[in-house]
Structure 1
Amino acid sequence: MPKKGEILVTQNGAVLQNIDLVGDIRVEADNVVIRNVRISAPQSSDIDQWGILQWVGHSGLIVEDSEIGGRSDTELRQAVMNDGGLVTVLRCDIHGMSKKGVYTSQGDIEDNYIHDPYWFAAADGEIDMIRVDGSPDPGTSLLIKHNALIDTTTTNSAISLFEADGGTPSGVTVEDNYMATAGWAIYAGGQTAATSDIVVKDNVFWTKFKDGYGYVTEWNPDGPGNVWSGNRWENGKPAPLPS
């Protein structure tokens, strides 16, 4: 029988595992591990803001080998939402969200399957498999590696980088991912935004974008440390920066 409601974690170093939960997990502690859990949005609820949240002032959350899913009748806005420091998301199946699969500016997102969001009018169609807002904390960065990011029904992004709260995305490495989107695969922060150290390499893009969309937009080629290399279409042909 699934547990229901919110689980609040306040003990540093806590390990939550082998849980089937209809509800959400809120982490107000450091170095918490969430492993082998299934989190489902409540049935016929108006809005579920997150599946897992790391709260402000806390860091070190690891989410691994888990499933987080929304419902067609419930708006799960963020599957994994990070308002704190570092977060690691490994080997998870994330789907059915209405806004963001993983929402963080720093940490490690590897070997995940993030896919098939639900579209809700109340969410304004703001759907990203991975969303970065603003700058990472000093001394941190974000690695997005070897994920399958798939959204073939809406016209939003696999990965979106945005200026926010006075900060500009920096220190983001996007490597060896597969991105299948009808809209933009990567929204790269802004052609004139002061992005830096954005490295996009060895990724594979599918070829069925809707008219007017493609694998990258708003890339600043002059941002210090910004690198685009080795990216290709799924047929093996190079995917260079658009001229």
Structure 2
Amino acid sequence: MIENIDLVGDIRVEADNVVIRNVRISAPQSSDIDQWGILQWVGYTGLTVEDSEIGGRSDTELRQAVMNDGGMVTVLRCNIHGMSKKGVYTSQGDIEDNYIHDPYWFVAADGEIDMIRVDGSPDPGTSLLVKHNALIDTTTTNSALSLFEADGGTPSRVTVEDNYMATAGWAIYAGGQTAATSEIVVKDNVFATKFKDGYSYVTEWNPNGPGNVWSGNKWADGKAAPVLLS
């Protein structure tokens, strides 16, 4: 258990079932790059981060606020902001009730800014739940949630439910129209109308992927937001 601390720097987790609670993690001042705020390392699982704040700085590039190279991770009720690439970076786990918002733009980060980023497939027997988060980036042209094929894996077993997304770029990059995505369920989300020209709430959705479901999604004014195949 790590709790009730105010830390400048980062935490690297190399143990199972660690709980990080009620902490504030800030990137070092005037440092070049801080690769992560919290990292669960390869071979470890069960990390929980809850009721905490992870923040970057305008003069320090915090690339990933919460980064998971291991097994399951849970991120609950956190305030995550100021990152230059990813707010939460994982392919499996539970991401609920978080406020992930307002990244900083750094040229060195190549504009790869996502509030939540998924690369490849979840581990066997696991899945990813993204529920009831506020994902807000109205200044760059990247995504609230991005799903990508990586390392031979394709996103699958992802549920995206009851989130609020306000973005200037795509709200959801859904993996690829012809990618072999499966069991991607996107339901009951709300999208704000803050997009730059040419962008909207979803791109690269595969409607033919087995188990892929798009339902109940709406604009902020209550109008339906059907699947767009662009």
Structure 1 residue 140, shift from structure 2 partner: 0.2
Q: Distance in 2 between matches of 1:148 and 1:119?
A: 20
Question: What whole-Å deviation, never above 9, does each CA across 1:119-143 have from its counterpart, x for those lacking one?
Answer: 0000000000000000000000000
Structure 1 residue 208, shift from structure 2 partner: 1.9
Structure 1 residue 146, shift from structure 2 partner: 0.1
Which sections of structure 1, spanning at least 5 residues, go unmatched?
Answer: 1-14
The DSSP-based 3-state class of the residue aligned with 2:80 is strand
Which residue of structure 1 aligns with residue 19 of structure 2?
Answer: 33
Q: Distance in 2 between matches of 1:220 and 1:242?
A: 8
Contact 2:22 2:52 in 1 (8 A): yes
Structure 1 residue 162, shift from structure 2 partner: 0.1
Question: What whole-Å deviation, never above 9, does each CA across 1:123-172 have from its counterpart, x for those lacking one?
Answer: 00000000000000000000000000000000000000000000000000
Question: What whole-Å deviation, never above 9, does each CA across 1:55-86 have from its counterpart, x for those lacking one?
Answer: 00000000000000000000000000000000
Normalised to the residue count of structure 2, the TM-score between the two structures is 0.99
2:28 to 29, 37, 42: 42
Runs of 4+ residues deviating >2 angstroms: none
Normalised to the residue count of structure 1, the TM-score between the two structures is 0.94
Q: Distance in 2 between matches of 1:222 and 1:164?
A: 20
Which sections of structure 2, spanning at least 5 residues, go unmatched?
Answer: none
**Percent identity, aligned pairs only?**
91
Q: Distance in 2 between matches of 1:217 and 1:91?
A: 28
The question of 1:235 aligning with 2:205 is answered no
Q: Give the aligned CA root-mean-square deviation in angstroms.
A: 0.7
The DSSP-based 3-state class of the residue aligned with 2:37 is strand
Q: Distance in 1 between matches of 2:38 and 2:94?
A: 16
Which residue of structure 2 aligns with residue 61 of structure 1?
Answer: 47
The DSSP-based 3-state class of the residue aligned with 1:39 is strand
Contact 2:163 2:188 in 1 (8 A): yes
Contact 2:177 2:229 in 1 (8 A): no
Structure 1 residue 242, shift from structure 2 partner: 4.8
Structure 1 residue 98, shift from structure 2 partner: 0.1
The DSSP-based 3-state class of the residue aligned with 1:21 is strand
User: Structure 1 residues 45-54 or 233-242, which shifts more?
Assistant: 233-242
The DSSP-based 3-state class of the residue aligned with 1:139 is coil
Question: What whole-Å deviation, never above 9, does each CA across 1:33-53 have from its counterpart, x for those lacking one?
Answer: 000000000000000000000
Contact 2:205 2:229 in 1 (8 A): no
The DSSP-based 3-state class of the residue aligned with 2:108 is helix
User: How many residues are treated as equivalent by the alignment?
Assistant: 229
Structure 1 residue 196, shift from structure 2 partner: 0.1
The DSSP-based 3-state class of the residue aligned with 1:130 is strand
1:206 to 172, 192, 204: 192
